[in-house]
Amino acid sequence: MYIEYDGSFEGYLNALYYILKNKISPNKISFKKNLFNIESIKINSNIKIFNYMSSYLKRSVSSLSLHKFYHCFLSNFEDKDLLAIKYIILALKYPKAIDNYETNDIVINVNKYSKRVSFESHRFLGILRFKLLKNNFYFSKINPDNLIIPLISNHFVKRLSNENWIIFDENHMMAAIYEEKNLSIGLIKSFKNIDFMLEEEEILYEEFWKKYYKSISIKERKNDRLRKNFMPYRYWKNLIEIANKKSEL
């Protein structure tokens, strides 16, 4: 059976509820439309079921298992939707022993996916850069492999609680928008109504930073291979000192 949900975590827990209630073992779970010649069902998101499942899982499995389950869901691996469901069902069956099943393929892969998401979200806390726009919003564009915005947003709520800001995940078309002390996270179709012109002081500071970065660099010690080990090349385009920037985003 193919189970299709809306791509949100709310919809995902609704799919889990359907699976547990009907005691079925789906062949595939995805937010993508069914292109296979197998029986399928589309799950509609219901907030009451989501709240029920959230409470049920918190009561029934360890916080560590929930952490791994959620991080696996946020990963970018093709099989993560079905894998995370299999893992949480196993955790519900063996709540005290699940994390000791280190030879179980499901547990091994969930651990691997979860660690990659945790590592990437931690990495972005250090490399994420904001730009001040003329509309007094701080804007940051990122291109992570995994869906990390739900994990990093609260960090910036605490650090930039008196500012208005947007973190935009270009790869997943998702944004965290913090305005007047309210945080909202969701999918973004377009930013056509937002003025992305940089504040004049921001342009000046960017130029200062580039000149400073260039002045302290030592040409003879340049080692791009080492730099890529510390900072993957796919992240470079959003770094002011490395990428070629214009006055508009």
pLDDT tens by residue, 204-236: 878 888 888 888 888 888 888 888 888 778 888
Phi/psi at 205 (5° precision):
-65, -35
Distance in angstroms (rounded) separating the CA atoms of residues 227 and 233: 8
Three-class SS state of 2: strand
Q: What is the mean pLDDT of residues 159-179?
A: 93
Residues 176-198 have pLDDT tens digits of 999 999 999 988 776 656 666 88
Q: Exposed (0-12), middle (13-18) or buried (19+): which is 40, by Cβ within 10 Å?
A: middle
Task: Name the percent of the chain in helix, strand, coil, to the closest 5.
Answer: 50, 15, 35
Distance in angstroms (rounded) separating the CA atoms of residues 177 and 167: 7
